[in-house]
Structure 1
Amino acid sequence: MSSTNPGATGPVPTAPTSAQDLVRAKAVLLAQAGGRRRLGPVALRAALVDLHDFWLSSHAQAIGLTERASLVAVGALGRRELAPYSDLDLVLLHDGRKDIERLAEQMWYPLWDAGIGLDHSVRTPGQAVQVAAMDLRAALGLLEARHIAGDESLSDTVRGAVRQAWRAGIRGRFDELADAARGRWTKVGEIAHRVEPDLKNGHGGLRDVHLIDALAVAQLLDRPGRDVLEARDLLLDVRTELHRLAGRPRDVLRAQDADEVAAVLEIGDRFDLARALSGAARAIAFAAEVGLRSARSALPRRGLAALRRPPVRRPLAAGVVEHLGEVALARDAAAARDPALVLRVAATAARTGLPVAAGTLHHLADTAPELREPWPRAARDELLSLLGAGRALVDVVESLDRTGLWGRLFPEWGAVRDLPPRDRAHIWTVDRHLVEAAAFAARLTTQVARPDLLLVGALLHDIGKGRGGDHSVVGESVTQQIARRLGFGEPDVALLGAMVAHHLLLPHTATRRDLDDPATITRVVETLAATDGARKVDGGTGLLLDLLEGLAEADSLATGPGVWSPWKQTLLGELARRCRSALAGERIGRVPSEPVAPDLVAAVAAGGRPQVRFTKREPATVLIVVADGPGVLSAAAGVLALHSLEVHAAELETATGPGDAPDGAEPSPVAVLRLTVSPRFGGLPDPALLRAELGRVLDGSLVLGEALARKERDYAPVLPPGEVPTPPRALWFDDEATGGVVLELRATDRIGMLHRVAAALEACNAQIQWARVATLGSSVVDSFGIRCRLEGGPTAARRREMETAVLAAAR
C-alpha cells in the first residue's frame, strides 16, 4: 500500500506493521530520493518523520500504551529534523503504571532487533524534571519534546514543567550552557573555515541553532531570525544528503563527498558548496555569539543585584559609550549627521576589546548614510585606527559584515565573502584571510614609512579573487578604485595598486630562485621601478620594496601554520637587503661560495668516501663532498630525509681534487653540495652517521627507496581526514642568471620528495645547478635550476620528458 505525502513528489510507502517493515519502507524512501531525485531533502525528512511517527504510534497502541503513559520524541525526531540514519531519541513517560517494564521492552526490542539506532529512557514526570535539572543535554532535548503516542496530557505536563523549570533556573545554569558551547567551538572548530566541517557540532552548526532556541525558551532572546533559519535549512539539507549518500549516520562532510552532495543539491561543485556553508555557518555563529551576550545581559536579577542601580554609560569616543560590557551609541549620537560614526564605533570596539552591542549594529545598519566619495578624512582615519588594532579587528569586522555594514563600506567585498581557498595551505576563506593579514600587518607598522598603506594593502591584497583572471592583475584595478573612494591621493592610489599587483613577487622570488645571482636581484628591482606606484613617489621603489616586504610577512602569517618560517624570513630579508643595495647604486655581483676545505676534497679524492660537515648551525648548512657522478643530489637529499632533516636549498658545483693523480692523469673531479637544512624535530644528527649512510647509498648497499618508504609509513604527515592530495603540477621559467631554465614542481609534500624528484631529473640526465624548496602547509614547491647546453633552453620534447618523470615521481 502507498499514499501520497504532501511534501513529496511521488508515492511514499505507509502502514508498516513491524520494525522490519519500517526499515524496508525507509529503504524505499531513500531509493526514491536517489538517482531519479523524486524526493528532495526537505520532502525526504518530512516523509521519514511521518513514517516513524506512524510506526511508533501504531506500535504503541498495539502494545497498550494508551492511558497513564506516553511516548515522546526528542532530538532530531522531536524537532522534525530526522536525517536518513539519525538515531531515534525516545522517552517513555508514565505516572506509575505497574506494567511499564513490559511496555518498555515491547517498545524498544523490535527497534533494536531491526538494527535501528535508539537512545531511550523511561521516566515519571518528576524524574524527567529532575533529570533535566541535573543534566544539561537532557534538558535541551526535553525542551523540544514532541508527543508521539499515548496520553497527550502527560506529555504536555512534562514538557511544560521542564520549560518552566528551565526559565526559573536559567540564571544558575547560564554559565554551564555558555561554557559548554564555547568548549565545543574550541574542540570542533568553525564550520566556515574547516576543510571537513562538522555540520552538527561545529561553530555555526545545528547545535548552535538549538542553543539559540533554548535561550528563546528561557525568554532571554527572540526566536531565530530568517537568516538563521535559512542557514539551518541548508545545513539540514546537506546533512540529509550526506546520510543518504554515505548509507550511515555522518555529521562531518568529507572532501571526497562534497562534490556529489553539491551536485545533488544543485549548488555547483564542492567549492560552491563550501562557500554556501561558510555563509550559513557564519550567520549562525554570529547569532549564537550575540545571543549569548544578549542573554547574559537579560538574565533576571534577584536579591541585592535587583537593588543595584543600572550600570552607568561610560564615554569612549564621540557618540560612543560602554554599556553592560559592550560598545554602544551614546543617547545623543546621530548616525545620519556623523558619516564616520560606523567606523568610530568599530575602531573603538577593536581598541577596547569590547564587542559592539547587537542593537547598535542593527541601528547603524538602518540609519547610517552611505559615505560620500571620496570619504571624509575623519572616516579614513577611523578605518586606519580599526585596521591598526591587531587581533581585535577580526571579530569587529565579522560583526560589521554579518549585519551588512562592512559590505556598504566596501561593496567589492562581495566577490571574496565566504570564498573558499583553492590552495590547501590557506586555512581561511578569502575574506577572513584578508582581515587576518591586516591584523598581522598591524604588528609591522613601525617598520615601514607608510603604515597606512601597509594596513590598507594587506586588507586588499587578494581582493581580485573570485572575479576571474589573474587575481593580482584584477586586484590592482579594484584596489585603485577603492583607494580613490577612501580619499587617497593619486600617488598613494598607484602605490596601493602596485602592492596588490606585486604582492607575490618577493616571496616567490625568495623561495624559488637563486638569490646569489645578480640577475635575480636586477629583475626584482627593475620590476618595481617600472611600476606607476614607484614612479609617482620620490624614493618610490624603495618605499614599495619596504611595503611589499611587510605585506609578504603578514600574508604568510595569515595563510596558515608553517607558511612563515625562520628560513623564509631569512630568505625574504636577504632578497630585500640585496635589492636595497642595488637601489643605493652598489654593484651587485654573484655572492661567492665559501671555499671548500682542501682536506675534504683531498679525503674524497684519495679514498673515494664521501665527506660531511656542518659549517653553520642557524640556519644549519651541511657541506657534502663526494666523488662526482650521477645521482649525487638525490642520494644526499634522501639520506638527509632519513634523518628527519628538511632541505630548504641546495647548491651544486664541481671542484678538482689534488693534482697528484698517478701517471699524469687528470685530477679527480669531486661534487660539492651545500644544503641549508632544519630538523623536523630534535637536533642535528652526527655527521659521521650521515657520512656512513651516504657511503652505503652510493655503493648500493642501502636502497633509499625502501628506507624512505618505511620512514614515510611511520612518520608521514597526515592530511586532514578525507582530504585528497593535490595533483602535482610542473611549470617552466627562464633563468636569467644562468641562461638555463627553472623547473618548478607544485605538489603535496611527502617525506623524501626532493630525493624522488631529483632522482627523476638525474635519470633524464638533467644537470641540476641548484634547488629551492618552499613548504606551504601540506604542499610544497620544489624549484630546480637546470643548466642547458642549447641556446634557448631544452627542446619541447626534452621538457616533456623531464616533466613526465617529475610528475610521476611526485605522485
Structure 2
Amino acid sequence: MPLGVSTARGPFGYRRFGIEPRCAKALLGGSAEMRALHMAQFAPIFRIVSLPSIPRQRKIVDRRQLASAIARIVKEQGVSDGRQAIVAELRKALESGRKELMERLAKRPGAGHEHAHGQAFLIDQLIRLVHDHVVDDVYPAGNRSSGERIALLAVGGYGRGEMAPYSDVDLAFITPDKPTHWCEQVIEAILYYLWDLNLQVGHSTRSLKEASRMAKEDLTIRTALLEGRFLWGDQEVYDAASAQFWNEVVPGTEAVFVQEKLVERNARHKRMGDSRYVVEPNVKDGKGGLRDLQTLYWMGKYVHSVKSAAELVKKGLFTEREYRSFRRAEGFLLSVRAHLHTIAGRAEDRLTFDLQREVAARMNYADRPGKSAVERFMQFYFLQAKHVGHLTGVFLAHMEDQTAEKSRMADFIANMWPGKTRNVEGYVITDGRIAAPSNDWFEQDPVRLVEIFAVAEREGLEIHPGTTRMARRDAALITAEVRKDARANALFMDVLAGRNDPENVLRWMNEAGVFGRFVPDFGKVNAQMQFDMYHHYTVDEHTIRAIGLLSEIERGALKEDHPLASDILPKLINRRVLYVATLLHDIAKGRGGDHSVLGAGVAHKVCPRFGLDKKETELVAWLVRFHLLMSATAFKRDISDPKTITDFVAEVQSLERLRLLTVLTIVDIRAVGPGIWNSWKRQLLSDLFEAAQQRLRLGHKTHGRAQRVAEKKERVAEMLGDLDSLVTSLDDMFGDSYWIAESEEVIAINLPHYAAARAGRHSLSIHTEFVEALGATMVTVIGDDHPGLFFRIAGAIHLAGGNIIDARIHTNRVGKAVDNFIVQDPLGKPFSEAAQLMRLKKSIEDALANKIDMVPRLAKRPLKQVRAENFRVAANVVFDNDASNRFTVIEVNATDRPALLNRLTRALFEQSLLVNSAHISHYGERAVDTFYVTDLLGMKVDSAERLRKLERALLDAIEAGEAELAEAAQ
C-alpha cells in the first residue's frame, strides 16, 4: 500500500462506507488502472462537494486565457526572466476578478453566498494556474516517483468555499510520505507566487501519516481537515487522505469532538463579550456570528459524515424551516462581512460604529420615522444573531440525543428511579428540563405557550430545546384573543415578577418568539439598537438585564453594590408595579418623539390587560413617564440647592413613588453596560434620595438654614477629632452657603487644608486625595481668587488624564478661592496612586503659572472613547432661571471633546459670569455640562439680549473646539 493508509476493520473501518477490506486494498494499492477503476466506483464517498455553480465565471477569471498568457511568457522570456511578467498577469487577473465581484456585490448587496463562492472560485483558478506552471515549467519532472506527488487541499473557510475579499487563503499540501526534495521545491515555489500576489496564506505540509497523527492530537488541525476540499494536484493522494481521515481519525471521537468544539465556542464567546447583543459585534467570531453557524456544521459533519449543511435536515438536526433560517442568516452575515472587507480594504470582521453606517447604505437600508437606516440595519443583524442562537439550541439538543446514546439507558434508569422523570401540570420534567408531552401540545391550548415559561420560572427549570423549537414554530398561535386571556396574562406576570430567575426565562421566551407575540410593543424593540456609544446592548436585551438586576437585588444578591436599593425593596407596597415599569420604561424607543411620554401611553394600554388595577396602572405610567427624572436631577443639577429638592419632590409627591423611582433608576443605569455604574453615581442618587425622603417626611417643616448649618458643623467637628477647633476658628472665613453646598466629608478635608495653607502663607495650595466613599478623587485648589481660575484648572486636570464630573467654586470672606473638583479617569475610575495624584497637582501648578500652552495641547489629546469621532451631537444650550432661587442654570449638550469644558468655562469667564458650581455628565459621545452662574454682582442673568449673546458665545466655543480638534488631527 504505497500511500500508507490502514484498512482498519470493524464498524468504523471502510465497512462503515460499505467497502470490504479487499476492495480497500485494491483502492489504495495495485496498479494505477485498478486504483482508477475503484476510485471511480467509490468517488461519491470520498469527494468533497465542489463549489456551487458560479454565474458568468469567465467574467471573474478566464483561466484558459490566463494559462495561454503564461505559456506565451515562458516561451518568449523563459521561466526565470519571465517570472515578474507572470506575477503581473496573475495580479492583474486577481484585481480584475475582485473588481468584478465587488460590482456584483454592489448590484446584489445581499448575495452573500454567491459572493463568498465567487471569491473562492477566483482564488481556486489562480492557485491551479500557479501549480501547473510550477510543475510543468519551473520544476518539471519527466518520470516522477511514487513519492513525488502532492495534493493541494483548500481548508478552513476557504475549504468551505466561503471567502470574503481579504480572507486568508488556507492551504494544506499533502504528500504520500515525507516530502521529497522535488515536493519541497514545488511547494516553496507555489507559496512564493501566492505571496507575490499579496495573499495572506496559511499553509501546512504534511505526509499522510503526519496528517493523521496531528489531526488526532490537535482540534484545530482536525477541524481544518474536516473542511478539506480537493483543490488541485494528485487526486489519489487526496482521496487517500480523505479516506484516512474518516477511517482513522473520526471513529470513536465524535462525542469528544462535539464537547471540544463547545468548549472552544464558549471561550470565544467570552472573549467577544458573551452576548449576541453587543452594539459593535464581530461578524465572524462574535456570539450569533458566522463561526457559530460553522460550528454547527462542523459538529454535524463530524458525527454524521454529511457533505453539506442541507443534509442536516435528513439527519433530523434541523427542520426545513430551520435550515432556511440557517441559510438566510449565513447569507446575510456573509454579505455583511464582504461589505466590511470591501470598505476597509483589508480583513475586517468587526462591525464598528464607523463601518455600520456605510454597510447599511451599501445594503440599501433607508431611514424611517423614528429609526435611522443604520438602526434598521443593525436591528436586522441582531434578529439574525437571535436566529443563530435558536438554531444552536435545537441543534445541540438533537446532537445530545443522538450522540450520547442515552435513550434506552434513560428508560432503564427511569424505571429503576421513578423520581428521575416527573410530571408537573402535564409537562414532563427530566434532568432539570421541562418539555411538552406531545407535538400538538401548544396547538391544543395556545395559553400553554406562556404557561410553560411560568412553570419553568416557578420550578427553577430549563426549557428543553426541542420544546423551544415547538414554541418557536407555534408562536403564531398567540392571537389577540390569547393576549386578552386573563389566565395567560396572570401567567405572564408570574414570569415577569418571578422569585427565581425571571431574566433567563424571559430571555428564553424572547428567543422563542413568544415574548414579542404576547407583548407586541416589546416585539417592536426586539433586537433594536441605539446608535450611540452609551448604550451597550439592544433595547430588548437592556430591558431583560434590568429585570434580572431587579430580581437579583430583591433576592439580596447585590447588597454590597446596591445597599440603597436592597434596603428599599422590602419596604415597597407595589412590588409588581416596579417589575412592569422596568419592562415598559424603554418600550417606545424608535417610534419618534419622547419615548418616555409615548411609553406612558403604552403603559395605560397594556397594564389593565396584565391585571393591574387603575391605581397601579397610573403608577406604572408615571414611572415610565419620569424614569429619567431622578438621574437627570442627580447628575445634572446641584442637589445641595434647596430649590432642586423642592422641584424634585413636587413631581415625586409620595414616599412610595420615590422608592419605586429610585430602584428603577438604579437598575436602568446598571443595565446600560459595563463601566456605566460607579460609586459617584451611587453617592449622588443616595444623597438625592435622602434629601427628598427627608422633605417628604417633614413637608414644609424642614429645618431652617441656620439650624442645618449648625447641625453640619457639629458633625464635621466629630469627624475632625483632635482638629475639631478648626470649625470655630475658621468660622469667620466661610459663610453659610459654603456649609450648605458641601458635604461633611468634603468640609472635613477642606478645613485642615485651608488652615495649613494659611499658616504657611501659601499663595497657592493644591490638595489631591482619593475619597473611597465617592469612588473618585477630590482636587482642592486654594489661592487668591482671580478671573479665569476655573477654566485653567479644568484644562490642567484634563491634560493630566482626568475628567471633572463635579465642581464647586467658593470665594470666602477674605477673598480666597476654595475650589473643589471631583475627578475620575475616562473609564470612571478614581486616581488613587501617588504618581497619579502628583501628576494632577503638577499639571494644575504649571497651568496656573502659565507654563503650558493649554489649548493646543488639549486639542492634541486623544478622544475619551475609541471611535467617538464617528458621532456628532447637535450642540444645544438651555437656560433655566426657575431651577434655582439664586443662580441661572445653564445646560450645554455637545459632542464630548478634549477641550470642551475648558472652552465653555472660558466663554463664561469672557461673558463676565461667575460659576458657582458645575456638574459634568457623559453619555458615551455626548457631554452634558451644567453650570450654576451669576453675573459679577451676584445676580441671575435674565436679560433676553444677554442670554442670546451668551448662547452664541457658548456655541462658538463648541464649534471652535471641534475645528481645532480637526486641525490637530490632520
Q: 1:558 aligns with which of 665, 671, 692?
A: 671
Q: 1:749, CA displacement in angstroms? A: 5.4
Structure 1 residues 648 and 259, CA, compared in 2 at 3 Å: closer, same or farther?
A: closer
User: Please, which of 661, 672, 688 is the counterpart of residue 575 of structure 1?
Assistant: 688
| 1:462 aligned partner | 586
**Cα distance in 2 for residues equivalent to 1:677 and 1:56:** 59
Is the 2:636–2:920 Cα contact (8 Å) retained in structure 1? yes
Q: Distance in 1 between matches of 2:836 and 2:235?
A: 78
Aligned to 2:952: 800
Give matches, 1:85-164, under 5 Å.
Answer: 85-96=166-177, 99-152=182-235, 154-163=237-246
Compared with structure 1, are the counterparts of its residues 722 and 648 closer, same or farther at alpha carbon in structure 2 (3 Å cutoff)? closer
Are the aligned partners of 1:436 and 1:558 in contact in 2 as well (CA < 8 Å)? Answer: yes
Q: Matched residues in 2 for 1:305 and 1:124: separation?
A: 42
Task: Say if 2:894 and 2:958, in contact at 8 Å, map to a contact too.
Answer: no
Shift of 1:435: 0.7
* Residue 53 of structure 1 pairs with residue 124 of structure 2: yes
State how 1:489-504 maps to structure 2 within 5 Å: 489-504=613-628
Matched, 1:632 2:767: no
1:264 aligned partner, one-letter code: R
C-alpha spacing 1:497/1:20, structure 2 compared with 1 (3 Å): same
Of 217, 222, 229, the match for 2:317: 222
**Equivalent position of 2:932 in the other structure:** 785
Q: CA deviation at 1:288?
A: 2.7
Q: 1:363 to 1:439 in 2, by over 3 A?
A: same
Q: Please, which of 258, 263, 280 is the counterpart of residue 179 of structure 1?
A: 263
Instruction: Select the structure that is richer in helix.
Output: 2
Match of 1:234 among 332, 345, 352: 332
- Checking the alignment, whether the CA contact within 8 Å between 1:70 and 1:93 is kept in structure 2 is yes
User: Secondary structure in 2 aligned to 1:742?
Assistant: strand
User: What number of residue pairs does the alignment pair up?
Assistant: 781
1:279 pairs with one of 366, 383, 387: 383
Match of residue 665 from structure 1: none
CA shift at 1:783, angstroms?
1.0
Q: Please give the secondary structure, in 1, of the residue aligned with 2:55.
A: coil
Greater Cα offset, 131-140 or 390-399: 390-399
* Cα gap change, 1:631 to 1:404, in 2 (>3 Å): same
What's 1:263 paired with? 361
Distance, in Å, in 2 between the alignment partners of 1:76 and 1:304 is: 38
Partner in structure 1 of residue 46 of structure 2: none
User: Are residue 7 (structure 1) and residue 164 (structure 2) matched?
Assistant: no
Measure the CA separation in 2 of the matches of 1:689 and 1:407. 53
Letter in 2 for 1:82: M
The offset of 1:513, in angstroms, is 1.1
The alignment partner of 1:475 has SS state of helix
Q: Whole-Å Cα distance in 2 between the matches of residues 134 and 676 of structure 1?
A: 56
Larger Rg computed on CA atoms: 2
Residue 104 of structure 1 and its aligned partner are, at CA, apart by 2.9
Q: How big is each residue's C-alpha offset from its partner over 1:615-638, in whole Å with a ceiling of 9 and x where there is no partner? A: 987347666543332123234445
Matched-pair contact (CA < 8 Å) for 2:550–2:667: yes
Contact 1:503-1:548 at 8 Å conserved across structures? yes
Counterpart of 2:252?
168
Aligned AA for 2:284? K
Q: Do the aligned partners of 2:490 and 2:610 also contact (CA within 8 Å) in 1? A: no
For the pair 1:524 / 2:648, whether they are aligned, the reply is: yes
Distance 2:668 2:892 in 1: 22
- TM-aligned CA deviation for residue 699 of structure 1: 4.5
Give deviations 1:25-61, integer Å, cap 9, x for gaps.
2211333355794575545434333333333345545
Shift of 1:336: 5.1
* Residue 346 (str. 1) matches residue 453 (str. 2): yes
1:197 Cα deviation (Å)? 2.5
Q: 1:10 to 1:55 in 2, by over 3 A?
A: closer
**Given residue 830 of structure 2, which amino acid in structure 1 is its aligned partner?**
R
Number of the residue aligned with 2:916: 769
Q: Which consecutive unaligned segments of at least 5 residues does structure 2 have?
A: 1-52, 68-85, 305-314, 367-372, 555-568, 714-726, 734-753, 966-970
Correspondence list, 1:658-673, <5 A: 669-673=815-819
Unaligned runs of at least 5 residues, structure 1: 530-540, 658-668
Q: Which amino acid aligns with 1:120?
A: H
Task: Determine the C-alpha separation between the residues in 1 that align with 2:57 and 2:255.
Answer: 47
Contact 2:496 2:506 in 1 (8 A): no
Distance 1:726 1:808 in 2: 15
Q: Give the whole-Å Cα distance in 1 for the aligned partners of 2:952 and 2:442.
A: 64
- Write the distance in 1 (CA, Å) between the matches of 2:942 and 2:869: 43
Among 378, 387, 403, the residue aligned to 2:496: 387
Give per-residue Cα distances to partners, 1:327-356, cap 9 Å, x unaligned: 323569954566653334324444666531
- Following the alignment from structure 2 to structure 1, what is the Cα–Cα distance between the partners of residues 548 and 389? 21
Q: Deviations over 1:374-399 (max 9, x none)?
A: 75555444434433458944443333
Q: TM-score, normalised by structure 1?
A: 0.85
How far apart in 1 are the matches of 2:478 and 2:115?
A: 45
- CA distance in structure 2 between the aligned counterparts of 1:305 and 1:153, rounded to whole angstroms: 43
Q: Cα 1:580–1:78, aligned 2, differ >3 Å: closer, same or farther?
A: same
Letter in 2 for 1:342: L
Counterpart of 1:452? Answer: 576
Q: Which residue of 1 aligns with 2:469?
A: 362
Letter in 2 for 1:682: S
Q: Is the 8 A contact 2:401 2:407 kept in 1?
A: no
Q: 1:732 to 1:497 in 2, by over 3 A?
A: same
- 8 Å contact kept, 1:730–1:807: no
**Partner residue of 1:83?**
164
Give the Cα–Cα distance (whole angstroms) in 1 for the partners of residues 344 and 107 of structure 2: 19
- 2:636 maps to which of 496, 500, 512: 512
Q: Name the amino acid aligned to 1:26.
A: L
Distance, in Å, in 1 between the alignment partners of 2:454 and 2:509 is 11
For 1:651, the equivalent position in structure 2 comes to: 808
Q: How far apart are the structure 1 equivalents of 2:941 and 2:192?
A: 81
- Percent sequence identity over aligned pairs: 25
Deviation at 1:10, TM superposition (A): 9.8
Match of residue 437 from structure 1: 546
- Please state if 1:700 is matched with 2:700: no
Q: In structure 2, how many angstroms separate the alpha carbons of the residues matched to 1:476 and 1:805?
A: 38
Change (3 A) 1:725 1:241: closer
The CA deviation at 1:226 is 1.6
- For the 8 Å contact 2:803–2:823, the answer to whether it is kept is yes
Counterpart of 1:609? 763
The answer to whether the Cα contact below 8 Å between 1:515 and 1:521 also exists between their aligned partners in 2 is yes
Distance 2:848 2:868 in 1: 39
Cα distance in 1, alignment partners of residues 103 and 240 from structure 2: 45
The one-character-per-residue Cα deviations of 1:251-270 (angstroms, maximum 9, x if unpaired) are 22333233222222213443
Match for 2:659 among 537, 546, 552? 546
Match of 2:288 among 179, 186, 204: 204
* Of 419-428 and 398-407, the range deviating more from structure 2: 398-407
For residues 457-505 of structure 1, what are the alpha-carbon distances to aligned partners after superposition, in whole Å with 9 as ceiling and x for unaligned? 1111001101111111111112222212222222222221111111001
CA RMSD of aligned residues (A): 4.0
CA displacement 1:682-715 (0-9 Å, x = unmatched): 16899999888756644535666688789x57xx
Contact 2:427 2:435 in 1 (8 A): yes
